[in-house]
Amino acid sequence: MTIETFDRDYDLPSLVIKPLYFGLVANILIPMALLLVCYYLEMHTPPPDRIGIGANTLFIVFAVLAVGQAAFALWYRARQFARPMVTHLDRFEEDVKRGLVSRSRPVFMMVGAISLWGVAYYLLTGRFNEGVMFVVFSFIVFQFIRPRYGSVQKLLDHQLALAKRGELLSS
């Protein structure tokens, strides 16, 4: 099936838009607002380096935690999208839309929370540039998890196959 065929069978824009908007808020607007606050502090009253010589070690620890958090979010997303979302074939599109939104939100929150490591690092060490790296990393990870037509098309294929085999979400 091509995207054009799926677009006739299912309303792909309506399936993609609601989780995408939530993801934009959780992964773009909130981290950018936090980054703006950190930038304001950097320009007016930069925080002191409270960690001292251990700041580089703390950066490595936070970086490992951020990469682990990103890997967990990607794994969790794959696991959640592999499970049945459909309660009945008659409600296929509505169930997938509801499941896509409800299962995407925790993943978006996990990825958006990566930027909090950068804010915490900045507030503890006063190193703005290194703190920005965490926000940029969360943006990059968001590019892998955000809904796209292709990923939603694969999700619809998978959910339809599950529903036809009788593997339905028990309500």
Q: What's the pLDDT score for residue 30? A: 96
Structural domains counted in the chain = 1
Across the chain, which distance is largest between two alpha carbons, in Å? 62
Quick check: is 28 in a domain?
Answer: yes
Extract the tokens encoding 106. 């925790």
In order along its 171 residues, the chain shows pLDDT tens digits of 444 454 557 888 889 999 999 999 999 999 999 999 999 999 999 999 999 899 999 999 999 999 999 999 999 999 999 999 999 888 899 999 999 999 999 999 999 999 999 999 999 999 999 999 999 999 999 999 999 989 999 999 999 999 999 888 885
pTM (predicted TM-score): 0.88
Quick check: is 21 in a domain?
Answer: yes
Q: Calculate the CA 35 to chain-centre distance.
A: 18
Q: What residue numbers bound the domain in which 119 lies?
A: 3-164
Q: With beta carbons less than 8 A apart as the criterion, state whether 153 and 12 touch.
A: yes
CB-CB neighbours of 158 under 10 Å: 16
Quick check: is 140 in a domain?
Answer: yes
Q: With beta carbons less than 8 A apart as the criterion, state whether 145 and 21 touch.
A: no
Q: What's the pLDDT score for residue 171? A: 55
Quick check: is 169 in a domain?
Answer: no
Quick check: is 170 in a domain?
Answer: no
**Phi and psi dihedrals of 47, rounded to 5?**
-70, 150
